[in-house]
Amino acid sequence: MKQVTIERLGHQGDGIAAGPVFVPGTLPGELVEGEITGGIMDAPRILRPSEMRVSAPCRHAKSCGGCQLQHARPDFVAEWKQSVVRQALAAHGIEATFREIATSPEQTRRRAGFSAKRTKKGAQVGFHRKRSDVIVEVPECRVVDPKLSAALPLVEALAVLGASRKAELSVLVTTSLGGLDVVVKGGKDADAEMQQQLSELARRHNCARIAWGDDAVLTRRPPMQKMGRAEVSPPPGAFLQATPQGEAALLADVLEHIEGASHVVDLFAGCGTFALPIAETARVHAVEGDKAMTSALDHGWRHAQGLRHVTTEARDLFRNPLLPAELARFDAAVIDPPRAGAEAQVAQLCEAKIPRIAFVSCNPVTFARDAAALLRAGYVLDGLRVVDQFRWSTHIELVAGFKRQ
């Protein structure tokens, strides 16, 4: 047994003591005791707790690996997430003024990725234990929408129906206007008999759609998502913002950063989270690498009322970014890249000198790199906000504006 004092939190939410020693479930300033194996104190005993420590609100917190920070006060979590962004920016010599963090309420996540394994008596369903492939049942999750918790019997039934005894089933469940939208991976091939049973499960559990493997096996109703005035039916498993409240916070700042623009390019547009609301006041060209997503966006636009013209383009912006000559017709840009950032596309934006850019990011490190390039090109960083859609986790999202000086 060894005693250590926690000096700081790492980016994965573990406390870090000198050594380094990684201690999950701890906070800076705490004195802890435990056995250290491979630089990790896996089962610490808290000898001197931090004043920032609270009792975890979820009864599954000690075993489930879905949340890393339920033991910390909300104001500590908010400041820590903002400090992670500050540190990433500081590594590039960037200072920024932060707006108030936008934290999504409990039980608002509209998508959950459940794991399931068949057992002799049925199936085990839930999330993985911390640093383990053991599945922990989470019937009272404090993060996901209650409709997703209520879908656990469906996930269990899917595992009994289509999982092998050796392989784990992955079941992605999303709430939609038409009911549950379900994507199942890792199951047995769906023959005619299984498809008939899936149809019955879909009816019984109010599923809009069940996709099995790479195929949409059945669609009872379109699994619509509201995007501004439009309704969009995304392809199975397509990217969506995690909570309606988080999406609203991101969208509000995006609209503010491009206010007054008449022709906007939306880069990494997805199914239209930003493009379709922007189209209420401006023409939009939406670019996304996945053709199925641009098709869904286009279909949603064509069936909506009162929107300006929206064009779509399926294009790999990593390998084939829009060039300055193509960007010259726009007076504002919105960019929402994946975790890798948008280094190639940002380089072209720097040359194009579009007056205003709204930048949404889910990775402070790549955002800071891309922001540094924009600042060197003559932009000013304006109004950065951290948006915490993944409550109690270490995941961080942000939205910021850039203006040409």
What span, in angstroms and rounded, lies between the C-alpha atoms of 9 and 20? 12
CB 304 within 8 A of CB 230: yes
Nearest to residue 66, comparing CAs of 113, 103, 107?
A: 113
Annotated ligand binding at 259? The verdict is: no
User: Which helix (H) or strand (E) element contains residue 284?
Assistant: strand 283-288
Q: How far apart are the first and last CA of the chain?
A: 58
What span, in angstroms and rounded, lies between the C-alpha atoms of 72 and 26? 9
Annotated ligand binding at 12? The verdict is: no
What span, in angstroms and rounded, lies between the C-alpha atoms of 61 and 78? 19
Task: Return the amino acid letter for 306.
Answer: G
User: Which helix (H) or strand (E) element contains residue 356?
Assistant: strand 356-361
What span, in angstroms and rounded, lies between the C-alpha atoms of 172 and 149? 12
Nearest to residue 106, comparing CAs of 385, 362, 386, 389?
A: 389
Return the CA Rg of the chain. 23
Catalytic one among 207, 271, 350, 362? 362
What span, in angstroms and rounded, lies between the C-alpha atoms of 137 and 114? 10
- 260 — phi, psi (to 5°)? 90, -10
| Residue 350 known to be catalytic | no
CB 211 within 8 A of CB 184: yes
**Structure tokens given for 399:** 């939205």
What span, in angstroms and rounded, lies between the C-alpha atoms of 167 and 93? 48
Q: SS3 sequence, 361-374?
A: ECCHHHHHHHHHHH
Q: How many CB atoms lie under 10 A from the CB of residue 55? A: 7
User: Which helix (H) or strand (E) element contains residue 84?
Assistant: helix 74-90
- Give me the DSSP letters along 315-337: --TTTSPPPHHHHTT-SEEEE--
Annotated ligand binding at 114? The verdict is: no
What span, in angstroms and rounded, lies between the C-alpha atoms of 242 and 258? 23
Annotated ligand binding at 76? The verdict is: no
Task: Identify the residue whose tokens are 């003024």.
Answer: 97
Residues with active-site annotation: 362
Binding residues: 241, 268, 288, 336
Binding residues for S-adenosyl-L-methionine: 241, 268, 288, 336
